[in-house]
Amino acid sequence: MTTITLFTAPQIRAQRDALSQLLIDCVNDGASVSFMLPMTGDKAQTFWTRVADSAARAERLVLIALDAQQQITGTVQLILDQPENQPHRADVAKLLVSPAARRQGIAQKLMAELEKQAADQHKSVLVLDTATGSGAEIFYQQTGWQRVGDIPDYALMPDGASCSTTYYYKQMNIK
Ligand SMILES: CC(C)(COP(=O)(O)OP(=O)(O)OC[C@H]1O[C@@H](n2cnc3c(N)ncnc32)[C@H](O)[C@@H]1OP(=O)(O)O)[C@@H](O)C(=O)NCCC(=O)NCCS
């Protein structure tokens, strides 16, 4: 059974090793999530240290999926910190599910909770981008995200191949 928990900055720091392993596993599996091969423990630890610092400043929310044994199987972030003319908008970043735990609905649960958190924060427009043609693209299309368009040659895949990025948005009914 999967539970979704909002991690505080101290919790992120305490679980940095497990979160780093999740990131390393996803990059080694080919995910285009800002990192190149070889993916190292140092790069992953630095990433999560910065995420914890940012969470401590209330710039972002970090959601964690835990299995029945309280092991981390997935994560996603809601970036709250936006320019003053976009107080109603947030970005979604680093949706990661362990390659060993995929196609069990964990990403769906993470994103459902993320949308609840976004509504609580009065965020009515959510934006994300993902590698064109990836499994993540199919996931977002299946879960109600509106495709905006592609930017060719936006990034590199972990192995150095050129990668197009596709932008998506979701408008939320918030009360
Ligand atoms: C994309 C990702 C988060 C999906 O996680 P997941 O927990 O396996 O997704 P779910 O089980 O919740 O999938 C729900 C539905 O989305 C679709 N889907 C998810 N992954 C898919 C894939 N690789 N290919 C095709 N459809 C997919 C399916 O319709 C799936 O339902 P089904 O399993 O009953 O067919 C995961 O593959 C991942 O971490 N990828 C690498 C990192 C990444 O690219 N993240 C996005 C960055 S923006």
pLDDT of residue 175: 73
pLDDT at 56 over 80: yes
pTM score, two decimals? Answer: 0.98
Question: Whose alpha carbon is nearest atom 14 of ligand 1?
Answer: 105
What are the extents of the domains in the chain? 3-171
pLDDT of residue 16: 98
Q: Which CATH class is domain 3-171?
A: alpha beta
111 CB less than 6 Å from ligand 1?
no
Plot region of 36 (φ>0 → left; ψ -120 to 50 → alpha; else → beta): beta
146 CB less than 6 Å from ligand 1?
no
Answer for the pair 48, 21: CB distance below 8 angstroms, yes or no. Answer: no
Answer for the pair 65, 72: CB distance below 8 angstroms, yes or no. Answer: yes
Strand 89-97 vs strand 3-7: parallel, antiparallel, or unpaired?
unpaired
